[in-house]
Chains A and B, each alone.
Chain A
Amino acid sequence: EPEVTQTPSHQVTQMGQEVILRCVPISNHLYFYWYRQILGQKVEFLVSFYNNEISEKSEIFDDQFSVERPDGSNFTLKIRSTKLEDSAMYFCASRADLGMNTEAFFGQGTRLTVV
């Protein structure tokens, strides 16, 4: 069964450092998302991406964040200068289309710890 894969599964970084979280969406999907979930809190939308550009982004997705689809398979989230409060699980998701009942498939997440 096709799945969304994310690497690394865990990342520890020092405050102020740049991190890149990587995702390989399901191959025929068109819409890509990043969500985050701070420990014990709700899933929060960060950004959606379609046709090689950002479709929507939340208030969380400030200038420190960027996304890229550098080739036909990878979808990356970059945090330029990490802060302690960026520590969270980051989930990548993809959807085939925006039609009714089209579910988002989630990767297993990257646990980012900023120290």
Chain B
Amino acid sequence: GQNIDQPTEMTATEGAIVQINCTYQTSGFNGLFWYQQHAGEAPTFLSYNVLDGLEEKGRFSSFLSRSKGYSYLLLKELQMKDSASYLCAVGTNSNYQLIWGAGTKLIIKP
């Protein structure tokens, strides 16, 4: 079967760093996406990893280990506006569809 696991909720402090983990088991793999979703809004693209290693994009970084079926999203210098759900999604062999995790709700406290 296809399975993507993320923590349901995390809390962090403004200005701090937080790491959101994602593990996956899918029938194929064509890359892993991270999306941000504010309540009641559409997901917006953050990052994409297809090779092992770290991809850095400003305050956000994403890491992938294909052998472990594992990724994380690292958010630095947290701001209140970073309070949102963070969705991990995997492109499978067909790549027509993305398999989505349930999302991690990130709560930022002052």
A91 touches B43 (CB 8 A): yes
Most chain B CB neighbours (cut-off 10 Å) among A42, A107, A109: A42
Interface string of B75-93 (1 = CB under 8 A from A): 0000000000001010000
| Minimum CB–CB distance for B81 against chain A, Å | 18
Per DSSP, chain A at the interface is strand
Query: Contacts A42-B100, A42-B102, A98-B96 given: A106-B44 contact, CB under 8 Å?
Result: yes
Q: Bound complex: CA of A48 vs CA of B95, how far in Å?
A: 10
Q: Which of B9-34 contact A (CB under 8 A)?
A: 30-31, 33
- Judged by a CB distance under 8 angstroms, whether A33 is at the interface is yes
Q: Bound complex: CA of A103 vs CA of B96, how far in Å?
A: 12
Residues of B within 8 A of A50 (CB): 96
| Minimum CB–CB distance for A6 against chain B, Å | 9
Q: Bound complex: CA of A107 vs CA of B99, how far in Å?
A: 18
| Minimum CB–CB distance for B53 against chain A, Å | 14
A45 touches B102 (CB 8 A): no
Q: List 5 A-B contacts (CB under 8 A).
A: A56-B97, A91-B43, A98-B96, A106-B44, A108-B41
Tell me the B residues contacting A by CB distance below 8 Å. 30-31, 33, 40-45, 48, 50, 87, 89, 94-103
Tell me the A residues contacting B by CB distance below 8 Å. 31, 33, 41-45, 48, 50, 55-56, 58, 89, 91, 98, 100-101, 103-109, 111
